[in-house]
Structure 1
Amino acid sequence: SLCFENALQNASGGRPPTPLGARILTNPEDIFQHNMWDHVQWTEEAKEEARQKTNENSSSRIPSEEQGKYDTDACKYWDSFYERHQDRFFKDRKWLFLEFPELLPSGPGGRATEERDSFPGEHAPFRILEVGCGAGNSVFPIVNSIKHTGAFVYCCDFSSRAVQLVKDHPDYDQSLCHAFVQDICDEVASFPFPPLSLDVILLVFVLSSIHPERVQGVVNRLSEFLKPGGIFLFRDHGRYDLSQLRFKKGRCLSDNFYTRGDGTCVYFFTKDEVHSLFSNAGLEEIQNLEDRRIQVNRAKKIVMYRVWMQSKYRKTLPAPS
């Protein structure tokens, strides 16, 4: 099994503050007392074992003539996913506001006016877009938290089935939220709001599902819709996460990019890749963290090493004249 050392404790032995939790394993004998431990740093031995497993499961690639379907038919695979799982696969993301307090307007901000909007949410003082909303596991915690603030949420997915699940949800309220089908890889597709109109763009486990060669273009295009001072909130799969190491040979499309048995795809990011992705779009780093945890199955006495990336990047304000 992978070895580990717990780091990030300060010299006084105190626990690190949030973000990314504060449950620190100080005694390895206590490992099965909780389901999750935060702020875990792997040893070099552990990193090398992960690299070897990744090299092994990447050694046999899907033939190039077969790879195209995972890109061109991606919508079909995700529609099938939501048709099969409905809204039962993912849980509501109750951690959102702890890690991303930027989702909540600062101060009352004023109510949206009663004028007729030329686009949904036009008169809202604070606007959020979630890209890749799925069945609404981020949308509805946000919607239920912004009531009476005048804020407005847009959410999109390129699976029409997922968007329909959002619209059919009992908490869907057109005065607070607008759900729409969108392929964010489409370079000429229009959005239901103008450039420079969004305060927050939320990207949670969505960029990893896109072909790595397309991701920079997606971030570049999305950044055009942020107001100066607006922020990207990003969370996604990290390099050498357990789910990457578990892939069998023959599922690899390209370096660190795989297809699952249902045809959906996933990429595993590094901290440096995330920084390049957003800084190349002209954004300023606010936070760029590697979230390493131990996840425990206490019943089966199994220890699993998880890695996620969590980042915040801001569109810089124009320089004063």
Structure 2
Amino acid sequence: MTQVQRKTIFITGASGYIGSKITELAIADGFIVRGLSRSAKNDDKLRAIGAEPVRGSIASFDVLTVESAKADIVMHLVDTWRARFNEDYSAVVRDHNLAIDAFVKGIQGTMKPLIIASGSAVVKPDPEHNETDETSPINTEGINRRYQCEQYALDQESKGVRVYSIRLAPYVYGHGGSGIAVFMRLALQRGTSVYVGDGSRRTSTVHVNDAAHLFMLVAKQTPASSIYNCTSDDYVTVGDLAKGMAEALGIPVQSVTEEEAIAQLGPFLGKFISLENIASSAKAVRELGWKPKEAGILEDIAAGSYVVVAESLKSGSS
């Protein structure tokens, strides 16, 4: 019997919140996963889920090039947004683009897939509060310049690389992690959970498991270079999110102005909770057969993984 050659995926951020879920799915699907790792702790985490750690950082350009050249698929998920609570993103954009250069050096001319993480909030909200999609105008005056990183990566298609941008919802949730846990901790510290205005602005969400499935669908199907929104169609209001966290924590909920939100949370988070993002994932559903299956974010806060988070925060153990 002829043995089927297993494909290799090289992932930056393989031990992270989304990356670890992608790694688990990829290994279950028969892929070999080599994950960039900056520490012995991350080495152990990767080995525990069946991946092969590769020591280095996002600035280890020779490592990125060599690993990309050996891999069949490259995924870039590592969190380079260390300045996300700052107005200056120039260093983040620079570091991201240098990493892209290193990946492309290893795979140019091969038509291998390069899959990057972006965000659905890179586009302008629709003025009539309708859905946006992957063709909607970019918001060049938004809270960050992530769109510049996305465009730089997409431009590499001209070098014989298939490039895919997965635009994640503003709220990626599940397993008690990510931004919801951060907002819950901040709310408990302040004693109130806040929302902006009347709380009616809607936003997009996606469970981390569903997000990981979309990355793997792209990896396995490798269509022509493209952008896909990674959002559930269960849009929620920012008011309902704040109220859900308040109920879980047993604290009041309060409406504030955008200026007050910025004063309390800082420029990035203050603007973040003011954001409207009604982003359709119809393209991913239509072209790749992706369909979110996990419980919605409000259910997860009220009766799912964030119940444990709330209890831990209230007991002071987190």
* TM-score (norm. length: structure 2): 0.39
- Rg (Cα) greater in structure: 1
Q: Of Structure 1 and Structure 2, which has the larger fraction of its residues in strand? A: 1
Q: Of Structure 1 and Structure 2, which has the larger fraction of its residues in helix? A: 2
* TM-score (norm. length: structure 1): 0.38
